[in-house]
Amino acid sequence: MPIFDFLSGQFIDVIAWTDDTRDTVVWRFERQGHEIKYGAKLTVREGQAAVFVHEGVLADVFAPGLYMLETNNMPVMTSLQHWDHGFRSPFKSEVYFVSTVRFADLKWGTRNPIMTRDPEFGPVRLRAFGSYTMRVADPGRFMTEIVGTDGEFTTDEISFQIRNIIVQAVSRTLAGSPIPVLDMAANTADLGKLVAAAIAPTMAEYGLAIPELYIENISLPPAVEAALDKRTSMGLVGDLGQFTRFSAAEAMTRAAAQPGGGGAMGAGVGAGLGMAMAGQLGQAGPWGAAPAGPVAPSPPPPPVERVWHIAENGATRGPFSRAALGRMAADGGLTRATLVWTAGQDGWQAAGDIAELAQLFTVMPPPPPPPVAG
């Protein structure tokens, strides 16, 4: 290289970084021999921070702005000050640019189910997944704790660790939450805020912040979801006996309307379905005879006993069955003013305002008789 080109390169130096990627968090400014010249201009744009590392030690962190590196207290040396070393300065400095913008649409999810105890269904397994945003809040701490000497650090290198921290907090939050499984979909925003607050101290130790964390879905195992679908279908059907008779009548109509079936085939299918329906209706005797008596309807499924939670002194207790609440009412541990809640109820209500529980306070033993005089 001609001596003129070398000297002209020593009198001007511009240090800047323009990022066209969406996942680069840290980028090291590359210079031959890591030599930063006296009087160099450092440009730090909005959404960036510049970290100076001099002789292996973090020297300074620069916020957005334009800086002239010419003061004597800067850890920046020029090779022109050391002619006796043959234009090679023994003072080396490195500049790392750190992106402080939010990195969005980062995914998290539970790899294994979370065991939790639901007040209605008992022990259940839950899965959850969602997304979060991440940003560097403390560039100096982030460099010393995570990046080190990595010249190009991306979100993929830290997302796995953050995902583990989030899943651990989600597991603790869901396992300790008193919210029933069927009501968790309506409380995902509050649960996400609880998880974000739980992981904030750990993220701060890395120099990171999680501005947003979303729980997109909380799901049950497929077998449990299938059972819930059957339970919902039974609720929509209503009277099972009436539904069976209606289905048999529809089947007879479709069989008779089949094209090309012929009178004999249609009659045979219709007769077979008619006999099946007659057996369901409890008919005795030949086809066409009057029913022997009224058909007893099928008994409905037993009702699911509701359980209740009690709010006292800013904390909740429960769940308790109605029988347990009756014993508490007899002992004075439950009054009409006690706030209670159960699944499907709109907020906390006083026990005396709920018809099902108000009976517990009316069924009281009469006063004892007076003692018999001796």
| Domains defined for the chain, CATH in brackets | 3-99 (no CATH), 103-220 (3.30.479.30), 308-362 (3.30.1490)
Output the furthest CA–CA distance in the chain (Å, rounded).
131
- Lowest-confidence segment of 73-82, 207-216, 335-344 by average pLDDT: 73-82
Would you say 259 and 248 are in contact if contact means Cβ atoms under 8 Å apart? no
Give the position of tokens 């970290």.
51
- 152 vs 288, higher pLDDT: 152
So what's the pLDDT on residue 236?
63
| Amino acid, res. 307 | V
Going by the DSSP 8-state scheme, the letter that residue 372 receives in this structure is P
Contacts of 358 (CB under 8 A, 6+ apart): 336, 351, 352
Q: What is the pLDDT of residues 185-209, one digit of tens each?
A: 889 999 999 999 999 999 999 999 9
- 119 vs 236, higher pLDDT: 119
Whether 106 shows a pLDDT value over 50: the answer reads yes
SS3 at position 107: strand
Q: How many residues are given for the chain?
A: 374
Would you say 195 and 108 are in contact if contact means Cβ atoms under 8 Å apart? no
Q: What is the pLDDT of residues 292-302, one digit of tens each?
A: 556 666 676 66
Closest alpha carbon to 342 in 357, 329, 332, 326: 357
Distances (CA, A) of 197 to 202, 204, 218, 312: 10, 11, 19, 25
**Global confidence as pTM:** 0.56
Q: What is the pLDDT of residues 222-261, one digit of tens each?
A: 877 787 777 777 666 666 677 677 777 777 777 777 765 5
